C-alpha cells in the first residue's frame, strides 16, 4: 500500500492548536483542471516564502528564504519541505507561536501552472511527478505577481533535506528590475499586509 504522503504534515502539527487545514480532506480528482501553484509569505522565526506546486494530489513544497526573483541571474535557495494538503493553498492566518511553523502566513501569489519541460531525446515529456523525483522541474506560472517560466533544480542534500535552486527562466516575463518581493508585499487574496493579517487573525484559537 502506498505511503500516505501527508503523514509527515500531520505528524508535525496539532490539529486542535493550529488554524491550518488538518490535511484529511480528499485530494481533488478533477483531472482536467490545471494544477495550482501558491507562494505563501511566512513570517515565522525566520521569514521565508513557501513555494508550492500541485503534483499528484498534494502540494510539493519548498521554503525559499529570499523569495522568488524575476531576474534570471538570481539563484534562490529552495529547501524542500513536507508535502502539504491541497486545501492549504488558500490558507492565510496566524499559526500560534508555540506550534510548528508559528507565525503569520500570507497568500503572496496563487494561480494555475503547467509543465514547461521539453521532450527528451525519445520525444517523451516527463510528468511533473517524475521531474520532481528526478530533481529538475521546469514550470510556467500563471499568477498575479509571477508569470512565465521557472526552473527548480536539486543541487545538494543536507541530512534528509533536498536543497534546490529556484531560477527565473529568461523569457518575456523576466525582468531584472521588478523585484515584486519588495514592491508587491500584500496578499493577492485579501490585499492585506502581514501586519494586518496578524492583527485581524492573531487572537483566534
Ligand atoms: Mn513555512
With cell 504522503, the residue in question is: 5
For residue 63, the CA-to-ligand 1 centroid distance in Å is 6
Distance of CA 192 from the midpoint of ligand 1 (Å): 18
- Residue whose C-alpha is closest to residue 183's, from 70, 43, 28, 91: 70
Task: Give the Å distance between the CA of 49 and the centre of ligand 1.
Answer: 7
pLDDT for position 27? 66
Grid coordinates given for 91: 490558507
Ligand 1 centre distance from Cα of residue 191 (Å):
20
Distance 122 CA to ligand 1 centre (A): 38
Q: Give DSSP secondary structure letters for the chain.
A: ----TTHHHHHH--TTT--S--S-SPPP--TTSPPEEEEEEEESSS-EEEEEEEETTEEEEEEETT---S-TT--EEEEEEEEE-GGGTT--EEE-TTSTT-EEEEEEEEEEEEE-PPP-TTS-PPPHHHHHHHTEEEEEEE-SS-EEEEEEEEEEEETTEEEEEEEE-SSTT--TTT-HHHH--S-TTT---HHHHHHHHTT--
* Cα 84 to averaged position of ligand 1 atoms, centre (Å): 11
Q: Cell match 482536467: residue? A: 32
Other Cβ atoms within 10 Å of 133 Cβ, number:
12
Mean pLDDT of 49-75: 97
pLDDT over 80 (residue 104): yes
Q: Find the length of the chain.
A: 205
- Kindly report the number of other CB atoms within 10 A of residue 59's CB atom: 26
Between the CA of 138 and the centroid of ligand 1 the distance, in Å, is 22
Q: Which of 85, 71, 74 is nearest to 36 (CA)?
A: 85
Mean pLDDT, rounded, for 158-170: 95
Give residue 73 CA to ligand 1 midpoint distance, Å.
25
What is the distance in A from the centroid of ligand 1 to the CA of 48?
6
pLDDT for residue 202 is more than 90: no
Could you tell me which residues come within 8 angstroms of residue 130 by beta carbon, excluding any fewer than 6 positions away? Answer: none
- The pLDDT, as a whole number, for residue 5 is 87
Q: Higher model confidence: residue 109 or residue 4?
A: 109
**pLDDT greater than 60 at residue 71:** yes
Cell of 121: 531525446
Q: Is the pLDDT of residue 160 over 90?
A: no
Q: How far is the CA of 176 from the centre of ligand 1 (A)?
A: 26
Distance 51 CA to ligand 1 centre (A): 9
- Chain position carrying cell 500500500: 1
| Nearest of 76, 67, 82, 117 to residue 11 by alpha carbon | 82
Amino acid at each position: 500500500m502506498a505511503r500516505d504522503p501527508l503523514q509527515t504534515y500531520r505528524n508535525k502539527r496539532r490539529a486542535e492548536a493550529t488554524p491550518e487545514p488538518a490535511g484529511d480532506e480528499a485530494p481533488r480528482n478533477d483531472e482536467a483542471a490545471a494544477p495550482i501553484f501558491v507562494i505563501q509569505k511566512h513570517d515565522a522565526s525566520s521569514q521565508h516564502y513557501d513555494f508550492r506546486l500541485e503534483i499528484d494530489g498534494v502540494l510539493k513544497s519548498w521554503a525559499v528564504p529570499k523569495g522568488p526573483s524575476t531576474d534570471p541571474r538570481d539563484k534562490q535557495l529552495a529547501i524542500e519541505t513536507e508535502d502539504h494538503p491541497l486545501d492549504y493553498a488558500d490558507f492565510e492566518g496566524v499559526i500560534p507561536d508555540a506550534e510548528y511553523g508559528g507565525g503569520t502566513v500570507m497568500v503572496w501569489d496563487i494561480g494555475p501552472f503547467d509543465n514547461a519541460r521539453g521532450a527528451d531525446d525519445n520525444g517523451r515529456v516527463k510528468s511533473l511527478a517524475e521531474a520532481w523525483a528526478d530533481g529538475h522541474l521546469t514550470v510556467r506560472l500563471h499568477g498575479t505577481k509571477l508569470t512565465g517560466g521557472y526552473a527548480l533544480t536539486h543541487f545538494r542534500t543536507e541530512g534528509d533535506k533536498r536543497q534546490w535552486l529556484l531560477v527565473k527562466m529568461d523569457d518575456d516575463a523576466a525582468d531584472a528590475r521588478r523585484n515584486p518581493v519588495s514592491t508587491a508585499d500584500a496578499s493577492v487574496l485579501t490585499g492585506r499586509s502581514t501586519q494586518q493579517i496578524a492583527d485581524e487573525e492573531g487572537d483566534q484559537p
